[in-house]
With several copies, the nearest count.
Chain A
Amino acid sequence: MSVTPSSPDYILPKLKAETLASLVKKGVRLSGRALDEFRDFSVKVGYIPNADGSAFVKLGNTQVVAGVKLEVGTPYPDTPNEGTLVVSAEFVPTASPVFEPGPPDENAIELARVIDRSLREIRAIDLSKLVLVPGKKVWVVWIDIYVLDHDGNLVDASAIAVLAALLTTKIPKVVVSPEGGITVKKGEYEGELGLSRRVITVTIGKLGDVLLVDPDLEEESVLDTKIVVAVSDDGRISGIQKSGMGALTYEEVLKAMDLALRKGGELIELVSSATLKQLKEGS
């Protein structure tokens, strides 16, 4: 059951909302950012020692951890020779005064599914390489997104964290016994997971007839609607989600795609280089 939200994540004081709206019309944002400008972000990879890949991301004041774990499981019957991928997201109650403990709500589920789809069809992870015993035992790639602090644009912050975590994920060492029993060598790794394609999302907010990227929480509270576009490192669109109550015109959708493709390419490079830099410095 999806219900029109009666208590929004954040309520912007009326005066401030008006200022924000009138500034945006002039191409200016409360934060001083340009309409097509992301907030600064930082990435810390290897943040979760017990994960096989992980990253802590701060996008403005939004904080997200993504942890990747590989576990031995069974393949789906219709893809016996592929590993499996599960993406989950939790909006933990540390993150906002309106988040309560409990199973993921529709927003967390939507976020996880948007990230999942952005990776799946483009085969960002080559699941055919994750087979241990064909038809019987494969790697299950668990991607868990943990939202720690919410200052808007949780999707892109999560996408950045997932990209960074996947770029640093390693495949555990296993011993397969003659009978097909599998023992994971705790703490030992065989190599990198590797990505066939790097993918990011770009979230674009619509306020009146203005489009702006990476909305923060104040902006989200007054937006008409949002559109999330997943962009791959070869300049294709690997996912779209209109999210939120309003609507976009045909022209706005096309404009949003252009904007997303441009910013997405930049973002992939920024995340990749930040990640690789740390990999070189670290371990």
Chain B
Amino acid sequence: MVSTSERPRLIMEDGRRYNGRAYDELRPIRMQVGVLNNANGSALVEYGRTKVLAAVYGPREPQLKHVSIPYRAVLRCRYHMAPFSTHDRKSPAPSRREVELSKVIRESLEPVVVSEMFPRTSIDIFIEVLNADGGTRTASVTAASLALADAGIPMKDLVAGVAVGKVDGVIVLDIDEVEDMYGEADMPVAAAPSLNLITLLQLNGVLTPDEFKKSLDLALSGIRRIHEGMKETLRRRYLEVKVEE
């Protein structure tokens, strides 16, 4: 049980956010691929203190025959939080939240994976949130995308994700846990920028139509920057930058 301090001020007098960032500033982002030995592909992605590991196995024979599809590979995706990843210890049993996020993350990747190339196989994406500080689902999409690429799975584009939020009335990019908890809206977005496709879009909170458009624009600008970083990471195997430098 964490102490419920007063709701903190999230936008300072100078217009900066409580964490010192500008409204359109990403956290420091680190990305690394090939971090695991056994997996066919893997990536470790950090958005600030949010730390996510993704592993890809496959294309391989499905564990369960009846989930195979004759004309394409199935994607199997699990988003899972380590018990120590959250402030209060998380029970290892899958929560309803984890079930939902596994689905939306899978659906954010379905449009780019060239699954028709591997009929009757399974491409398994295992995501482990090691430390959670906001934006875990969007960091997961980024990590899964990199792990798929690292595994050599053909993709039409890399999908990158980021959450925007409304805090103290201001639309800000890449919100962390505090901004999520005390803010007015949290909108995770993932997109394949080269294809101009939005593959994940959720909103938890309330926005006016205008605020929504502003939020979506801000998210896509962040996604483009992260997408550049991902491409660079795949070239260099490792990237640690403030992506927007």
Contacts of B85 in A (CB 8 A): 48, 50, 67
Minimum Cβ distance to chain A for residue B138 (Å):
13
B 102-138 to A, binary, CB cutoff 8 A, 1 in contact else 0: 1111110011000100000000101010111100000
Question: Residue B66 at the A interface, CB < 8 A?
Answer: yes
Which residue of B60, B197, B207 is within 8 Å of A248 (Cβ)?
B197
Q: Given the known A-B contacts A1-B102, A97-B57, A246-B110, are A237 and B1 also in contact in the complex, defined by CB atoms under 8 Å?
A: no
Could you show 9 A-B contacts with beta carbons less than 8 Å apart?
A2-B99, A63-B36, A101-B94, A106-B103, A109-B96, A109-B100, A113-B97, A246-B110, A249-B196
Cβ contact within 8 Å between A94 and B55 = yes
Contacts of A245 in B (CB 8 A): 107, 110-111
Contacts of B57 in A (CB 8 A): 93, 97
Segment 19-64 of B: residues with Cβ below 8 Å from A: 36-39, 42, 49, 51, 53-55, 57, 60, 63
Minimum Cβ distance to chain B for residue A232 (Å):
7
Cβ contact within 8 Å between A242 and B202 = yes
Closest-by-CB residue of B relative to A238 is B206
Minimum Cβ distance to chain B for residue A283 (Å):
14
The chain B residues found within 8 Å of chain A, CB to CB, are: 1-5, 36-39, 42, 49, 51, 53-55, 57, 60, 63, 66-69, 72-78, 80, 82-89, 92-94, 96-97, 99-100, 102-107, 110-111, 115, 124, 126, 128, 130-133, 184-185, 187, 192, 195-209, 212-213, 216, 220
Question: Residue A243 at the B interface, CB < 8 A?
Answer: yes
Segment 161-195 of A: residues with Cβ below 8 Å from B: 175, 182-186
Question: Residue A72 at the B interface, CB < 8 A?
Answer: yes
Minimum Cβ distance to chain A for residue B141 (Å):
12
Which residue of B66, B74, B80, B209 is within 8 Å of A101 (Cβ)?
B80
Cβ contact within 8 Å between B207 and A92 = no
Cβ contact within 8 Å between A144 and B2 = no
Known: A121-B204, A148-B128. 19 other contacts (CB 8 A): A2-B78, A2-B103, A4-B69, A4-B74, A50-B87, A78-B4, A90-B92, A110-B103, A112-B96, A113-B100, A142-B84, A184-B2, A227-B201, A232-B206, A238-B203, A241-B104, A245-B110, A253-B216, A261-B209
- Complex-state Cα separation, A106 to B77, whole angstroms: 12
Contacts of B60 in A (CB 8 A): 97
Cβ contact within 8 Å between A2 and B77 = yes
Which residue of A61, A103, A113, A148 is within 8 Å of B53 (Cβ)?
A148
Which residue of B63, B88, B103, B207 is within 8 Å of A71 (Cβ)?
B88
Cβ contact within 8 Å between B212 and A186 = no
A 58-69 to B, binary, CB cutoff 8 A, 1 in contact else 0: 000101010111
Contacts of A184 in B (CB 8 A): 1-3
Cβ contact within 8 Å between A109 and B99 = yes
Cβ contact within 8 Å between B203 and A103 = no
Minimum Cβ distance to chain A for residue B101 (Å):
9
Question: Residue A35 at the B interface, CB < 8 A?
Answer: no
Closest-by-CB residue of B relative to A110 is B100
Question: Residue A236 at the B interface, CB < 8 A?
Answer: yes
A 82-96 to B, binary, CB cutoff 8 A, 1 in contact else 0: 000000101011111
Number of interface residues of A (CB under 8 A): 80
- Complex-state Cα separation, A244 to B37, whole angstroms: 24
Shortest 4 CB-CB contacts between residues of A and residues of B: A67-B84, A94-B55, A240-B203, A247-B197
Identify whether the interface residues of B are mostly helix, strand, loop, or mixed. Answer: mixed
Which residue of A103, A239, A242 is within 8 Å of B204 (Cβ)?
A239
Q: Given the known A-B contacts A78-B4, A97-B60, A184-B3, are A122 and B206 also in contact in the complex, defined by CB atoms under 8 Å?
A: yes
Cβ contact within 8 Å between B83 and A144 = yes
Q: Given the known A-B contacts A96-B38, A247-B192, are A106 and B102 also in contact in the complex, defined by CB atoms under 8 Å?
A: yes
- Complex-state Cα separation, A245 to B110, whole angstroms: 6
Minimum Cβ distance to chain B for residue A258 (Å):
8
- Complex-state Cα separation, A75 to B78, whole angstroms: 31
Minimum Cβ distance to chain A for residue B2 (Å):
5
Question: Residue A18 at the B interface, CB < 8 A?
Answer: no
Q: Given the known A-B contacts A71-B88, A184-B1, A243-B107, are A50 and B131 also in contact in the complex, defined by CB atoms under 8 Å?
A: yes
Contacts of B198 in A (CB 8 A): 242, 247-250, 253
Closest-by-CB residue of A relative to B213 is A254
Question: Residue A6 at the B interface, CB < 8 A?
Answer: yes
Cβ contact within 8 Å between A2 and B102 = yes
Cβ contact within 8 Å between A93 and B106 = no
- Complex-state Cα separation, A185 to B192, whole angstroms: 41
- Complex-state Cα separation, A97 to B185, whole angstroms: 39
Closest-by-CB residue of A relative to B66 is A6
Question: Residue A77 at the B interface, CB < 8 A?
Answer: yes
